[in-house]
Amino acid sequence: MSLPAPSLELTPAAAPGPAPVAASAAMREVMEAARDVAATPTTVLLLGESGTGKELVARFLHDASGRPGPYVAVNCAALPGELLESELFGHERGAFTGAAERRAGRFEQAHRGTLLLDEVSELPPALQAKLLRVLQEREVDRVGGERPVPVDVRVVATSNRDLGEMVRRGEFRADLFYRLNVFPIALPPLRERSEDLPPLAAELLEELAAALGRPAPALDATALAALAAHPFPGNVRELRNALERALVRCRGAVLTAGGLGLGLGANATATATATSTSTSTSTVNTISAATANALASGQLPVDLAELEKLAIAEALRRVGGNRTHAARLLGIGLRTLRNKLRLYRQAGVEVEPAGPAGGQLRPSARAAGLEPERDGALTRWQARPSQEERS
Ligand SMILES: Nc1ncnc2c1ncn2[C@@H]1O[C@H](COP(=O)(O)OP(=O)(O)OP(=O)(O)O)[C@@H](O)[C@H]1O
Ligand SMILES: [Mg+2]
């Protein structure tokens, strides 16, 4: 075995990380839990899809902890088992070929500080057992060492996989899971916290523009609506990348939906004015491309509640009215979808498709039973009068 290269992330404690944006109730709850637990030595398990901000919150936990030692981050997926063992726990001189000097592991480096075990689900079984021992005994065994070394480390672990399910499948040690799962914090996906989108986008644009030495452009209403209509499977990281792309191309002081081009892949040519009788379950990205185009050309409302209605109607149309499938497509829970449909019904707006989709101009609006009404530059969508009302 050769000496591990210093390839893992190591963030010095000196500069605190940026404060996470938390405008939505869900993110405010996350930050409240983080603030409560920050100053305690309690182990924290950060769960959530890729790109939801787990590392950012881990850094916040350290900054708010008041712990005098450094913040040290290790990505458990970055190195094979043998190298990771020495990286985490250190080694004595001569412990293996190439170990010319004694080396402190990340646990020792994080003494009196915070150790982030990023992607802890990827830890190989032998190291899961070793980690369990460190968490129980608060001392590490260096590779080739004879005496354990005491450490005072606050452990924060992250996972974007369901550790409970991995335990059930025998892929993750149950005892380690219980040791890590002392104070779990689940980061909600971005699609479930649309209130965070405008302040997040503004903050990320400021940061990205500053790096390019430019003033940040403002997002106009069409851009904000396009963001709200996009599902963001890659969460905040995807948003950041989209804004970076848009910024590179942006020449003016305002960024529009067209400039954002969300979901516009090489093959996406859909526009809202295209005639479509398709019942295919094409990706949500394609709807977003169409939505972005439609927004840019003023054919869709920029009212969020109205857009939500259209998205729900479109999802239901695409899956032939199956609510379970529609909820999955929309990235929301079935109960949330049912509640929304009930509210629409109470308001006299029928969103569920009554029969085969008409699918001419703006099929989603047709399926939603909505009729356009021009109000200045804005198209509003009204509940279509029923047969009785019309006659
Ligand atoms: N609430 C937030 N406020 C500001 N920036 C955020 C927020 N959440 C995430 N980000 C930014 O989004 C990007 C992704 O966040 P981060 O790396 O923390 O995600 P992650 O959950 O660790 O993802 P992965 O599981 O893929 O490693 C980073 O650039 C981060 O700064
Ligand atoms: Mg991460």
Nearest ligand 1 atom, CA 17:
31
Q: Which of 188, 217, 233 is the last residue of a domain?
A: 188
Does one domain contain both 166 and 260? no
Residue bearing the CA closest to ligand 1, atom 29: 237
Which residue is listed with tokens 């190298």? Answer: 83
- Beta carbon of 56 within 6 Å of any ligand 1 atom: yes
Nearest ligand 1 atom, CA 55:
18
Q: Write the CA distances from 272 to 162, 164, 362, 363, integer angstroms.
A: 38, 43, 6, 9
Does one domain contain both 231 and 266? yes
Q: Which of 276, 273, 252, 250 is nearest to 261 (CA)?
A: 250
Asked whether the predicted pLDDT for residue 306 surpasses 60, the reply is: yes
Asked whether the predicted pLDDT for residue 229 surpasses 50, the reply is: yes
pLDDT digits (tens, 9 = 90+) for 199-211: 999 999 999 999 9
Asked whether the predicted pLDDT for residue 37 surpasses 80, the reply is: yes
Contact in structure between 67 and 113 (CB atoms under 8 Å)? yes
Q: What is the CATH number of the domain that holds 125?
A: 3.40.50.300
pLDDT digits (tens, 9 = 90+) for 240-250: 999 999 999 99
Count up the domains in the chain and report the number.
2
End-to-end CA distance of the chain: 84
Pocket test for ligand 1, best of 55, 61, 122, 238 (most atoms within 8 A of CB): 55
Asked whether the predicted pLDDT for residue 140 surpasses 80, the reply is: yes
Q: Which helix (H) or strand (E) holds 117?
A: strand 114-118
The CA-based dihedral angle spanning residues 84, 50, 22, 328, taken in that order and rounded to the nearest 10 degrees: -150
Secondary structure of residue 225 in the 3-state scheme: helix
Cα of 59 vs centre of ligand 2, distance in Å, is 11
Does one domain contain both 177 and 205? no
pLDDT at 255: 94
Residues found in the chain? 391
Does one domain contain both 262 and 339? yes
Asked whether the predicted pLDDT for residue 9 surpasses 50, the reply is: no
Does one domain contain both 246 and 140? no
The CA-based dihedral angle spanning residues 336, 341, 346, 350, taken in that order and rounded to the nearest 10 degrees: 170
Nearest ligand 1 atom, CA 48:
21
- Beta carbon of 160 within 6 Å of any ligand 1 atom: yes
Q: pLDDT category, 290, cuts 50, 70, 90?
A: low
Does one domain contain both 145 and 239? no
pLDDT at 378: 36
pLDDT digits (tens, 9 = 90+) for 44-58: 999 999 999 999 999
Q: Kindly identify the ligand whose nearest atom is closest to the C-alpha of 53.
A: 1
CB-CB neighbours of 157 under 10 Å: 28
Q: Write the CA distances from 173 to 109, 209, 290, 337, integer angstroms.
A: 26, 45, 46, 36
Residue 19 lies in a domain: no
Q: Which of 153, 188, 223 is the last residue of a domain?
A: 188
Structural domain of residue 118, as residue ranges? 25-188
